[in-house]
C-alpha cells in the first residue's frame, strides 16, 4: 500500500524549503561559529560538541532566514533579484514558511541548549531576535539598518566560542569584531549593485538615500581600513602565529584595494569586485587562523 507524500516532501517543494534557509549564507554563519569554537576550546577536541554546535547554529540561522523571507515577502516581490524566491513567486504558502522557520529556530535553540550549553543557545536566540525584530523592520525606515544588522551578523563566532568555553573572553570579541567590520564593504557593495531594486521595494539602503554613491564608497573605504588593524589582533593577543599575521595583512590590503577602486570608479563592475573580494576574504582569513594557531 502506497501513501502520497506530503507537499513538503515532494522534490520541487523540498528545493523551495531549502532555498528558504539561504544555504550559502547559513554555511558562512556555521563556518564562523566553528572558528569561534576552535579558539574557545580549553582542552582536547570534542568532535561531538563541535558537531552539535554547528547543527544548532545552522538550524537557528536557517530558521532566521526563513522567517526573514516570510516577513519580507511583499518587498521581495518588488525586486528582480528576489522575486523568484519561494514566497514572492507563490511556490510556497506564507503560513508554511512561517511555521517552518519557527520549527527550525526552536530546534536550533534546543539543540544548542541541551547538547552544548545554554549560553550558546541564548546567544543564538538573541541573534535571531536582533535580526528579525530590529534589523529587518529598520530596513524600510533608515539606512542605518546596515549598522544595526552588523551586530547580529557578528554573533556567530561568539556562539561557537561560548559553546566551547562556556564563557566569552576578549579573544571571542576580537573574532566578532573582525566579522562585524567585514560586513560593511560586503553589504554596501550589494546595495550599490541592486540600488534600483531596493528603491522599488522601499528599502532605505545608503545608495538609495544618496544615489550618487559617494557616501557608499566612503563607507566601504572606511571599514576596509578599520578591518586591517583589527584583523591583526589575533596575532597580538597570542591566538595565531606570524603566518596568519602576514596573510591577514595581505588579505586586508587586497580588500582595501577593491574599496579604493570603487571610491574612484563608482560602477556596478567595481562594486562587484568588492563583493568578490569579500566572499573570498573571510574564508581565506579563517583558513589562516585555523592553520596557524599558537595552540592546538
Q: pLDDT digit string (tens) for 33-49?
A: 999 999 998 777 789 99
1 burial via Cβ count (<10 Å: 0-12, 13-18, 19+): exposed
Rounded Cα distance between 131 and 64, Å, is: 8
- Tell whether the model's pLDDT for residue 11 goes beyond 60: no
Average of per-residue pLDDT values in the chain: 93
Q: Give the Cα separation of 33 and 161 in Å (integer).
A: 7
Model confidence at 56: pLDDT above 60: yes
CA distances from 194 to 79, 135, 205, 206 (A): 9, 19, 10, 11
pLDDT tens-digit readout, 93-114? 999 999 999 999 999 999 999 9
- Domains detected in the chain: 1-168 (1.10.357.140), 170-296 (1.20.120)
The reported pLDDT for the residue numbered 6 is: 46
pLDDT higher than 80, residue 77: yes
Rounded distance, CA 55 to CA 75, Å? 30
Helix (H, G, I), strand (E, B) or coil at 240: strand
pLDDT of residue 162: 98
pLDDT band at 12 (very low <50, low <70, confident <90, very high): low
C-alpha cell at 252: 586586508
Q: Report the percent of the chain where pLDDT is more than 70.
A: 96
- Its pTM stands at 0.93
The pLDDT of residue 13 is 87
pLDDT attached to residue 150: 98
Amino acid at each position: 500500500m502506497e501513501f502520497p507524500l506530503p507537499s513538503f516532501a515532494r522534490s520541487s517543494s523540498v528545493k523551495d524549503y531549502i532555498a528558504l534557509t539561504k544555504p550559502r549564507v547559513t554555511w558562512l554563519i556555521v563556518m564562523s561559529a566553528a572558528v569561534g569554537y576552535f579558539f574557545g576550546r580549553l582542552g582536547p577536541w570534542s568532535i561531538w560538541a563541535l558537531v552539535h554546535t554547528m547543527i544548532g547554529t545552522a538550524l537557528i540561522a536557517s530558521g532566521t532566514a526563513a522567517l526573514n523571507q516570510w516577513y519580507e515577502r511583499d518587498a521581495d516581490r518588488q525586486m528582480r533579484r528576489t522575486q523568484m524566491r519561494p514566497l514572492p513567486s507563490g511556490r510556497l504558502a506564507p503560513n508554511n514558511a512561517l511555521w517552518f522557520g519557527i520549527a527550525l529556530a526552536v530546534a536550533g535553540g534546543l539543540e544548542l541548549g541541551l547538547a552544548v550549553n545554554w549560553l550558546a543557545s541564548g546567544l543564538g536566540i538573541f541573534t535571531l531576535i536582533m535580526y528579525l525584530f530590529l534589523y529587518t523592520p529598520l530596513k524600510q525606515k533608515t539606512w542605518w539598518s546596515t549598522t544595526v544588522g552588523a551586530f547580529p551578523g557578528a554573533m556567530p563566532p561568539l556562539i561557537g566560542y561560548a559553546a566551547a568555553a562556556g564563557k566569552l573572553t576578549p579573544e571571542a570579541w576580537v573574532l566578532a569584531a573582525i566579522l562585524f567590520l567585514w560586513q560593511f564593504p560586503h553589504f554596501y557593495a550589494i546595495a550599490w549593485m541592486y540600488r534600483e531594486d531596493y528603491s522599488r521595494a522601499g528599502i532605505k539602503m545608503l545608495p538609495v538615500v544618496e544615489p550618487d554613491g559617494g557616501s557608499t564608497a566612503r563607507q566601504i573605504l572606511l571599514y576596509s581600513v578599520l578591518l586591517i588593524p583589527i584583523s591583526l589582533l589575533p596575532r597580538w593577543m597570542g591566538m595565531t602565529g606570524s603566518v596568519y599575521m602576514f596573510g591577514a595583512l595581505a588579505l586586508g590590503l587586497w580588500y582595501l584595494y577593491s574599496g579604493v577602486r570603487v571610491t574612484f570608479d563608482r560602477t556596478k563592475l567595481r562594486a562587484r569586485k568588492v563583493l568578490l573580494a569579500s566572499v573570498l576574504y573571510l574564508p581565506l582569513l579563517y583558513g589562516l587562523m585555523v592553520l596557524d594557531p599558537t595552540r592546538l
